[in-house]
Amino acid sequence: MTILIRGAAVLGGKAADILIDGDTIREVGSTTAAADRVIEAHGLVALPGLVDLHSHLREPGDEGSETILSGSRAAAAGGFTTVHAMANTSPVADTAELVELVAERGMHAGYVQVRPIGAVTRNLDGAQLADIGGMAHSSAAVTVFSDDGRCVGDALLMRRALEYVSTFGGVIAQHAQDPRLTIDAVVNEGRVSSELGLRGWPSVAEESIIARDVLLAEYVGARLHVCHISTAGSVDVIRWAKKRGIAVTAEVTPHHLLLTDERALTYDPVFKVNPPLRTADDIQQLRLAVADGTIDIVATDHAPHASSTKDCTWHDASFGMVGLESALSVVQHTLVDTGHITWPDVARILSVVPAAIGRVDGYGAPLAVGSRANITLVDPAHTANWDTSRLHGRSTNSPFIGTVLPGRVVSTIFNGTETVVDGSLVEPELVRNA
């Protein structure tokens, strides 16, 4: 099977043709070759397939809100070809058997590569290390370990985890949240929490854990990845750590780049998320930090929830938002259209670097001849009111519904197989049999 993409702006630059043969990019430039299938891509930007380091696919255990298949479809619709599935499923992904099951079901679904993340501690209980070696050496070859949803709060355990994971070349992805400083916390602490009478989640609860962890990582010589940083102070700590040569990487979510805590003022639970939405100043500093490389990647923290846990009071609602389908649009809106970064940077923060952090093969040379044929074509000129028709998972808890956002994924190609054609998902049978 050969696919010819005609006239796409490669990484937002010059228009070129891209010839795919099987699962490999064969030619980039001007080609006269014939192909089994031709995609007219004039006006579209060609990006490498996107890589998400932080998704919750909910399977096993909460298939009512998402499955590996439905989450994979949401990912493909958003231009992703690889997603990392967080470990806080039920049962928790803390054994080789569990991570192998997740990886196999991802492969069977066929829309994206599903890379399981292993738990740091058994059952996420923060007490005893999970079967890290077993997961690393399993057929799923886990490289990222995280108790996400919970912080590895105990300093001694975090030290041991950093050391032990580095034995296998892996990385700890820390959910930085001091548990004691955030008891019952449900919204950013500040003017809004005081107005709403809701228990505040102070910025220092994130920043103090990051400060501790970068020092631990330096001390034991391990890699550290910090999930979803949300405050200006966290940016300062990461910047300081990088300057010092500490092997730390950091991610920010699309929603923390766009939405402020003011959204909570109506107590609409769709805006309840952890870490909470912060202030306009935090957003500005986070954007600048992506632009200057302090923040390495954007990751979605795609967190589907059944409607019953969002059609309720703020207190009873679950934390989290879906984000796979909207991530690229929000990145374009907040970072590209504002002039903070360019399309090659988008390829860096949404594909090359997340793949490097997760040690995922095939993303090192985006859209280069000989590379794996993971390609996303986006129409940056498209602008539309975001609505539920854009969502393809099982849950609709998107905070962007009703927001005008630019950009539309027109085509996604995963290992040489089209998963999205003309903006529509390809049917599961066709993807699976490819």
Partner 1 sequence: MKHLISARGLEAAPTVAILDTTMDMVDVRTREVKKLPTLRGKTVANVFFEDSTRTRLSFEAAALALSADVTTFTTQGSSVSKGESLKDTLQTLEAMGADFIVLRHPHSGVASTVVNSGWVDAHIINAGDGTHEHPTQALLDAFTMRSRLRGENARGSDLAGISVVIVGDIFHSRVARSNALLLRTLGATVTLAAPQTLLPREIDSWGAAVVSTLDEAIDLQPDVVMTLRVQKERMTSGFFPSESEFAQLWGMNDSRLRRLPPTSIVMHPGPMNRGLEISGSVADSPQSTVTEQVANGVAVRMAVLYTLMGDSR
* Residue 422 annotated among the catalytic residues of the structure: no
- Looking at the Cβ atoms of 37 and 315, the one nearer to partner 1 is 315
Taking a C-beta distance cutoff of 8 angstroms, is the pair 149, 86 a contact? Answer: yes
Q: Residue 195 or residue 337: which is nearer to partner 1 going by CB? A: 195
Closest separation in Å from C-beta 314 to partner 1:
5
Nearer to partner 1, 264 or 367 (CB): 264
Least Å distance, CB 227 to partner 1, is 25
123 φ, ψ (degrees, to nearest 5): 55, 20
Burial of 331 (0-12, 13-18, 19+ CB in 10 A): buried
Residue 428 and residue 432: Cα distance in Å, rounded?
6
Residues 401, 421: Cα–Cα separation, whole Å: 23
Task: Return the number of the residue (128 or 194) whose C-beta is nearest partner 1.
Answer: 194
CB of 57 to partner 1, least distance (A): 24
Separation between Cα atoms, residue 92 and residue 71, nearest integer Å: 18
User: Element (H or E) spanning 173, and its range?
Assistant: strand 171-174
CA atoms within 13 A on the CB side of 273: 30
d(CA 418, CA 167): 38
- Rounded least distance, CB 310 to partner 1, Å: 9
One DSSP character per residue, 187-248 reads EETTHHHHHHTPPEE-HHHHHHHHHHHHHHHHHHT--EEE----SHHHHHHHHHHHHTT--E
Shortest CB 365 distance to partner 1, Å = 48
Please pick, among 147, 213, 301, 345, the residue that the annotation labels catalytic. Answer: 301
The Cα–Cα gap between 233 and 203 comes to 7
Binding positions for partner 1, rule: CB under 8 A: 189-191, 193-198, 200, 266-269, 308-309, 311-317
Contact assessment for residue 118 and residue 99, using Cβ atoms and an 8 Å cutoff: yes
Q: With respect to partner 1, which residue has the nearer C-beta, 317 or 327?
A: 317
| Active-site residue list | 301
